[in-house]
Amino acid sequence: MGAAISMFVFGAITAALSLQLPLGALRTPGTGFFPFALGLALMALAAGRGIQLYLARPKVATPETPAAPAVPEHDGATLRVALFVAGLITTVALLQPLGYVLSSFLLMLVLLQILGLGRWYLSVAVALVSAAACYLVFVRWLKIPLPAGWWF
C-alpha cells in the first residue's frame, strides 16, 4: 500500500508543479500539458492499485468464517518505487551538466536494472538504443532544443 500512496503523492506533485507552466489547449498543448496529464494518469493508476490492495486485504476472522491466510503487502514494490523516484530526481539534477542523451541513457539503464532485466549487456544495449532513438526523434527530427551537456 505504501508504494501506491507514494506514487499517488508523486503524481500529485508532478501535476501541481506542471501548473506553473502554460497548459495551452488540446489542439495546441503548452509545455505543462503533458506533465500535467502524466501526473493525473499516475494518480489514477496509483489510486486504482490502492483500491485493489484495500479490497484484497485479509478478512477479520469471525466464529463463522476462519481467517484468510496472510498475504504479504508487497514483494519489494515499495523499494522499486523509491529507487524509481530517486532515479528520476537524479536524472533531473544531472540533465544540464551531462546533457539529455547521456542522462536519458543512464536513467534507462538504472530503470531497467530496477525492473530486473538482469543482464547488464542487454540493459546497456536497450538504454543505448532508446537514448539514440529519442535524440534522433526529438533533437534531429522535431528540432526540440534539449540540453547538450559537456560532451555532445
- Give the start-to-end residue ranges of the domains of the chain: 1-74, 76-152
Encode the chain (152 residues) as per-residue pLDDT tens digits: 777 888 899 889 988 888 888 888 878 888 788 888 888 999 999 999 889 888 887 776 666 665 555 555 556 777 888 888 888 888 888 888 888 889 889 999 998 888 887 788 899 999 999 999 988 988 888 888 878 876 65
Distance of alpha carbon 77 from alpha carbon 62, whole angstroms: 31
The closest of 108, 141, 132, 133 to 122, measured between CA atoms, is 108
pTM for the model: 0.56
Report the Cα 54 to chain-centroid distance in Å: 23
